[in-house]
Structures are given as C-alpha cells and as structure tokens.
Amino acid sequence: ADSEAVAALEYPVEISLEEVAHGTSRSVVLTSGNRSEEIRVKIPPAVRDGQRIRVAGKGNFGADGRGDLMILC
C-alpha cells in the first residue's frame, strides 16, 4: 500500500452558500492519542461540493512521516 495514502486524513466540513461565494475558514482540531492540535484552514471562494483542499503535513503519522490532511467540502 502507498504509505502516503495510509497516512492521509480526511476531514469533512459543511459550508453555506454565502461561504462558497466569499470564501471562509474553519478551525480543525486534530487528535492523535493524547495529543491534539488546532489548525485554521482557509477555504477559497467558489469551492465545489465534494472538492478536497489539501493541507500538507497535517494528516496521520505513517512509516514515511506525516501524511496530508484533506478537507472535504
């Protein structure tokens, strides 16, 4: 299996039509074991339903380091 795919993490978010028109941001709390991290993710205007926004290096830990966080809109 591809270690990058294994280490990726998908996080769904819901956004309103107004947020789609103007863009927005979301706070995402990532938890791994007893450790948590809050990051702010910018969601650009005109994002499409089902589109993924990649946040490099914020996914799960894998054999080759940390994967990417995929924000699912």
**Structure tokens given for 69:** 């966080």
- Distances 14 to 6, 7, 34, 48, 51 between C-alpha atoms, Å: 24, 23, 27, 11, 12
In whole angstroms, what is the distance from residue 45 CA to residue 51 CA? 12
pLDDT band with cut points at 50, 70 and 90 for residue 60 = confident
Find the DSSP H helices in 1-73: 3-7, 17-22
Question: What is the reported pTM?
Answer: 0.79
Q: How far apart are CA 65 and CA 73, in angstroms?
A: 25
Q: Over the chain, what is the mean pLDDT?
A: 88
